[in-house]
Structure 1
């Protein structure tokens, strides 16, 4: 048993790759449209920078909580703070939130594939195949997931940065001006939009159990969070700088639409968006895998069921939820609700549990 647990340990680098791959889901493809529609200005990059700094502070606070109270599993931490009954209820809510995010990723993937690739393929077939492939990886455990995620991340970064570089010939800096031309009002309106794209960083609270060295949690979380934020800023600037804010807000997948709109003579590859579709199918996959795994871990903590049984159960539930979402508009509304729950799980709940645990430990010590 000890050897098996040791095999399920991951390095800080692998932990950072898990956070990065989990954050790079649908956000990068839809964030430029969501921000420009909400702000009605090209100042979205300022919002991403501001929220990125705020979330780095929250990462620091949560890392200090883990270090101060030697948190191994956040599921156990909630029980210590709130008692077994209330703690299990909270853990169930967190597991259901993870299932919600996994369902959103599966449906968002299917929407993208149907829009660009398999127009006449039933969406249920696409989602079912996606989930079956994910379950195959999840059953191997977090160590197998962590080994393949850095490889996926390198491929994503190379392809994405290459295609961004090729698109710079369409970029016009004036499309991002004037900075704060409409004042600070649009910036305030865009704050809630960006937080949805940060889904995934909350998993830092559930990683200590699997890290070989828990002291590397803060470093791994900062690196894992910073890479997507930099890509978000770069994506917004490239997309809006090439197509203007007024045009971007009318598109469903503006990032992909950008790469459909340009050609480079002398290069044998004509459809550059094909590369983006490939890497983002991978990113949807990795995000689904991680959230499904931690949802299954939550059920194991609450009910004592085995991970393999939980994975099959979660896979079935996510399939049903993703199918029940009627269309793309429902998917967007669903993601908005997930964004609000994310803020509670990552920003509010750890601090509340920390205060309860600190009070209990002080009372016992006295």
Structure 2
């Protein structure tokens, strides 16, 4: 009979699918509006390219840190660098961050469903059903998640690309002009807006424990990051090119609004936003599942509690936290806050812990 640690091993492709599926949450549906509001122009695709290149470098740097110090999980790495007490405090904070992202995804899903599908269904009921299904999935462990995520991702990519192709009859390249009409300043001022859409790539720091070939961590993370980045750029170009930047600024869910604005007659299905709503409910689900799992793993590392019991606690807390925002505007403010925490977890902490561990190991060696 296979041991548990063997069962939890995942391939490079599965690791990339986990990162991609986690990144494709609420960001793609709201990113065109957030970028156009910040840049006040159709130049948001340039922001995505610039910040995407920066994050590729950060991914490479983190992969080098993992390889050099043989990091299995960032939870253990923080303890080595900061000591048991401070390390546990940091790990608890990281777990709370994961819990916060999970609750945000649950609430964002409920907001979308209420706006487009179930207008008279209480939001608490929608979130409760969502959380219960997610808990059932998380209990199976990361190996079960890694098997089903590539399937969900394939369906998402096919449907998304087909619907984008069908919407091209509305696309006008003039809606993306003038290039840099407001100067470089509009680009630099919008760089922080993208952070919430890149949530998920930080999981590369916690995946080495489960990946069969840790030497290919950079490949898995780069592919897992590159697919959503490409989709973000394509989405922004298609949505703004079809609807104009000034119109996109006023929409809460511009990507879905695009698909509501056209129909193709003469075929079995004339309205296509239903497909997007279905696949994006699945993407909210996968993101919630992964963050719930790693939040539960963080509690196991700190307190020694079993992951399966932690999942129930995280699910209950995520449900209550998801109901705290009073409206959509508070949800968006909450997402901005998570974006700043993400920068700390993915960009700042790894460098600080690396310096501390390097100093400790040199001291011990001497």
Relative to the length of structure 1, the TM-score reads: 0.99
Partner of 1:253: 253
CA contact (8 A) 2:19 2:203 kept: yes
Deviations 1:293-347 (A, max 9, x none): 0000000000000011100000000000001111101100000000000000000
Task: Report the alpha carbon displacement of residue 265 of structure 1 after superposing the two structures with TM.
Answer: 2.2
- Aligned-partner Cα distance in 1 for 2:23–2:335: 13
Partner of 2:123: 123
- Aligned-partner Cα distance in 1 for 2:147–2:325: 33
Partner of 2:268: 268
Partner of 1:152: 152
- Aligned-partner Cα distance in 1 for 2:357–2:191: 31
- Aligned-partner Cα distance in 1 for 2:200–2:102: 11
RMSD: 0.8
CA contact (8 A) 2:36 2:44 kept: yes
Q: Does residue 334 of structure 1 match 2:334? A: yes
Partner of 2:54: 54
Deviations 1:217-259 (A, max 9, x none): 1000000000000000000000000000000000010000000
Count of aligned pairs between the two proteins = 366
Task: Report the alpha carbon displacement of residue 185 of structure 1 after superposing the two structures with TM.
Answer: 1.1
- Aligned-partner Cα distance in 2 for 1:23–1:244: 26
- Aligned-partner Cα distance in 2 for 1:76–1:209: 10
- Aligned-partner Cα distance in 2 for 1:274–1:54: 35
Partner of 1:66: 66
Partner of 2:90: 90
Partner of 1:193: 193
Partner of 2:209: 209
Partner of 1:179: 179
- Aligned-partner Cα distance in 1 for 2:315–2:3: 28
- Give the SS at the match of 2:323: helix
Partner of 2:14: 14
Partner of 2:316: 316
Aligned structure 1 segments of 4 or more residues deviating by more than 2 angstroms: none
Task: Report the alpha carbon displacement of residue 2 of structure 1 after superposing the two structures with TM.
Answer: 6.9
**What runs of 5+ residues in structure 1 fail to find an aligned partner?**
none
Deviations 1:79-133 (A, max 9, x none): 0000000000000000000000000000000000000000000000000000000
Deviations 1:137-191 (A, max 9, x none): 1000000000000000000000000000000000000000111011011101110
